C-alpha cells in the first residue's frame, strides 16, 4: 500500500468463507514470518480476514529472520532503527486499508505482539476499532499517559516473569486499567517475554500461551464476533 513517503506490503489471509470482520495483525521483532503466519491462520480459522503490514519497510522491505537466540540481536537492531514518528502513521494507514477491503464486513480489530503490542496500543490511542489486543508491549508502561484517549475495547496481556518488562511496570498498567470500562489486563505470572511465540523455542511456554489465547478468543468473540 502507498503512504506519502513510499509503499509497503500488506500480507493478507482470508477465511474459508471469503468474508468476515478484519483483524490488523502487527508483527513482533522477527518480521512478518512463520509466527505471524501461524497466528493469522488461527484467526482465519475463527472467521477473520487478517492483514499484517510490513513494519520494517523503511529499514529493509520484507525483512524476516529466524526465531532463534542467534537471530535475536538482528530483531533488536531492527527495532532500534524503527521510526517511531512515522511508524504509527503506517499502522493507522494499514487499519484504514483493512477497513476498505471487499472481504471485510466493516468491523475491524487489532492484535499485536511484543513490538507490535506497543504499536497496537498506540494505535488504540489515535484510531477506533471494535477490539484491540496488546501482548506484552514493552513500550506500553511509558505511554500510559495516553490511556484516556482510547475509545476501543482494549485487552492487555503480560508475563509476570518477563525479563524485558519489569513486574513493577506491569503493575503500573494494572493500576491504570483498573475500573476502566471495556479495558482489561491479564498477567500470566509464570510467563516470560513472548511466551505465546510457538515458533521460538527460547520463548514459548505452552501453558501461559494457551491461557492467554483462550482469553483473547473470548475477548474477540465478545467485541468482534465472526
Q: What is the pLDDT of residue 140?
A: 99
Distances (CA, A) of 128 to 99, 195, 199: 11, 28, 31
Q: Is the dihedral of CA 68, 63, 198, 208 positive or negative?
A: positive
Q: Per residue in 121-180, pLDDT tens?
A: 999 999 999 999 999 999 999 999 999 999 999 999 999 999 999 999 999 999 999 999
Scanning the structure block, which residue is given the C-alpha cell 467485541?
Answer: 223
Nearest CA-CA partner of 13 in 103, 118, 78, 147:
103
Q: What is the maximum alpha-carbon separation in the chain?
A: 44
- With a cut of 50, list the residues of the chain below it in pLDDT: none
Q: What is the pLDDT of residue 120?
A: 99
Q: What is the pLDDT of residue 66?
A: 94
Tell me how far apart the alpha carbons of residues 86 and 92 are, in angstroms, rounded to a whole number.
10
Q: What is the pLDDT of residue 68?
A: 92
Give, rounded to a whole angstrom, the gap between the first and last alpha carbons of the chain.
26
The H-or-E segment that residue 97 falls in is helix 87-100
Q: What is the pLDDT of residue 183?
A: 98
Q: What is the pLDDT of residue 100?
A: 97
CATH number assigned to the domain covering 2-223: 3.40.50.1820
Q: What is the pLDDT of residue 201?
A: 95
Q: What is the pLDDT of residue 185?
A: 99
The answer to whether residues 205 and 190 touch, using CB atoms and an 8 Å cutoff, is: yes
Tell me how far apart the alpha carbons of residues 207 and 40 are, in angstroms, rounded to a whole number.
20
Q: What is the pLDDT of residue 60?
A: 97
Q: What is the pLDDT of residue 174?
A: 99
Amino acid at each position: 500500500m502507498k503512504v506519502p513517503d513510499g509503499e509497503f506490503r500488506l500480507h493478507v489471509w482470508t477465511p474459508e468463507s471469503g468474508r468476515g470482520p478484519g483483524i490488523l495483525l502487527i508483527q513482533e521483532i522477527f518480521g512478518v514470518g512463520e509466527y505471524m503466519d501461524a497466528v493469522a491462520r488461527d484467526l482465519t480459522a475463527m472467521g477473520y480476514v487478517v492483514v499484517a503490514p510490513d513494519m520494517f519497510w523503511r529499514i529493509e522491505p520484507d525483512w524476516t529472520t529466524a526465531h532463534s537466540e542467534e537471530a535475536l540481536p538482528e530483531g533488536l537492531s531492527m527495532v532500534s532503527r524503527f521510526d517511531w514518528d512515522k511508524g504509527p502513521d503506517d499502522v493507522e494507514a494499514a487499519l484504514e486499508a483493512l477497513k476498505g477491503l471487499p472481504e471485510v464486513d466493516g468491523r475491524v480489530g487489532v492484535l499485536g505482539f511484543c513490538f507490535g503490542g506497543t504499536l497496537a496500543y498506540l494505535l488504540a490511542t489515535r484510531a477506533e476499532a471494535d477490539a484491540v489486543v496488546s501482548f506484552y508491549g514493552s513500550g506500553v508502561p511509558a505511554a500510559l499517559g495516553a490511556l484516556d484517549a482510547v475509545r476501543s475495547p482494549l485487552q492487555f496481556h503480560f508475563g509476570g516473569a518477563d525479563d524485558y518488562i519489569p513486574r513493577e511496570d506491569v503493575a503500573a498498567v494494572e493500576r491504570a486499567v483498573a475500573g476502566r470500562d471495556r479495558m482489561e489486563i491479564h498477567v500470566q505470572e509464570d510467563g516470560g517475554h513472548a511466551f505465546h511465540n510457538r515458533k521460538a523455542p527460547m520463548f514459548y511456554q505452552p501453558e501461559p500461551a494457551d491461557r492467554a489465547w483462550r482469553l483473547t478468543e473470548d475477548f474477540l468473540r465478545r467485541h468482534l464476533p465472526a
